[in-house]
Amino acid sequence: MSDYVHTSVSNGTGFITLDRPKALNSLSLAMVRDITAALMAWRDDSGVAAVVIRSSSEKAFCAGGDIRFFYDNGRATPQGGSALVEDFFTEEYALNHLIHFYPKPYIALMDGVVMGGGMGVAQGGPDCRVRIVTERTKMAMPEVNIGLFPDVGGSYFLSRAPGRLGSYLGVTGVTIGAADALYAGLADHYVPAAEMAALSALLESTAGAALKDAIAAFAAPFRAAVGEGKLAAERSVIDRHFGAASVAAIVGSLKTDDNAFAQKTLQVMATRSPLMMCVTHELVRRGAALDVAECLRLERTLVRHNFEDGEVIEGVRALVIDKDNAPQWKPSSLDAVDEAMVQRFFQPVWPDYAHPLRHLD
C-alpha cells in the first residue's frame, strides 16, 4: 500500500482508509491502484464479508482526482508523463466498475467533502452500496467548473436521479448537503457527526456479515433529523427548466423566471465552461440509455477528447495553478457553442476491440 491508503481486516470486514488529508484525499494513480488491489484481494476472500471505505480526516472523504497531476502531465509528451494521465483514467474507471458490481456490502463513509472521483469510489451499485452522509457532507460533481465533465460513472448515476436532478447537478456542478444527497438517491443513510464515533465502534465490533443491517438499524432514528434540502424544495423549478432540450434552452427558460433559485442558477452557470456544460447535458441524456460499462467506456472516450481540446487544462490553471479564477473558456459564450463542437466529444477514439475498457461488462 502507498502512504495514502491503509488497509486492514477485522472481524470479517475489510477497511480502506484514505489518508492524504493535506490534499483532501485527492486520488493519485498509486491510490487508485491500492484501492483496486485491496478490493480484488477481498472479492473472493471468505474471511471478508463486507468492505468499509473511509477517511482519516473528518474534513474530506475524497475531493476527487488529483487535478494538479492532470495539469502537470496533461500538457506533457508521453516521455514527460502524459501517458500516466491515460493510465489514471483507464484504471480509475475500471475501479468504479469493480465497486459498482462488488459482491459484498460496500460501505462508504461520505463525511466531509465528496466530489468527483470521490463520488466514483463511493457510489456502489444497488446490490452492494451503503452510503452514509453527515451534516458535514459537501457533495458535488463539479467538473464543469474546471472544464471537464462529470465522469467516474456520473453519466450513469446522475442520469438515474429523480426527474431532472441529474442534469441540474451535472450541468451546474453545484454542491449539495446530506438531505439533498438522500433525496437525489446519491446516499442511503444519515448519521449526525456527533454519532460518527459510535458508528465507528459499531463497524469495528459487528461481524462483517451483519454490518449492512446493523448500519441501517443504527441510522434509522436519525433520518428525520436531516430535514428537507433545497432539491426537494425547488424540484418543480429544476424539472421545468432542466427538462429543456439544450443548455441554451435551459438558460433561456431560466431567464424568464424571476424565482430567486432560478436567478442564482443562472449566475452559477455563467461561471462554468459553456462547452463542457453542453457536453455534460448530452452525456447525461445518453447515459440514461446505457449500462454502467457502456457509460464508463463513453466517458473514457470523452476524457481523451477533453485533454486534446485543452479546456480542462485551462480550467485547472485558473482554479488551482494561477488561482486567478478567470478561465479563458473556448468558446467563451454559450451562443458560440454549436452542435458539431459537442458531438465531436462523442466520436469514437478507438475501435471497439482496442478500447482501454473493452473488458468491462
Cell numbers for 342? 459537442
Other CB atoms within 10 A of residue 57 CB = 18
Burial of residue 249 (number of CB atoms within 10 Å: 0-12, 13-18, 19+): middle
Tell me, yes or no, if 311 is annotated catalytic.
Answer: no
64 assigned to active site: no
Identify whether 143 is a catalytic site residue: yes
Q: Say whether 177 is catalytic.
A: no
For Cα atoms 141, 27, 194, give the angle at the middle one, nearest 5 degrees. 70
- The catalytic residue among 65, 116, 118, 166 is 65
Of 34, 92, 111, 151, the active-site residue reads 151
Residue type at 356 in one-letter notation: P
Catalytic residue among 117, 124, 170, 287: 117
From the list 143, 188, 282, 309, the catalytic residue is 143
Q: Which helix (H) or strand (E) holds 189?
A: strand 189-190
Strands, sheet with 113-115, edge to edge from the N-terminal-most edge strand? 60-62, 113-115, 138-140
Distance CA 191, CA 135 (A): 8
**Cβ-contact 30, 88 below 8 angstroms:** no
What positions carry a catalytic annotation? 65, 117, 143, 151
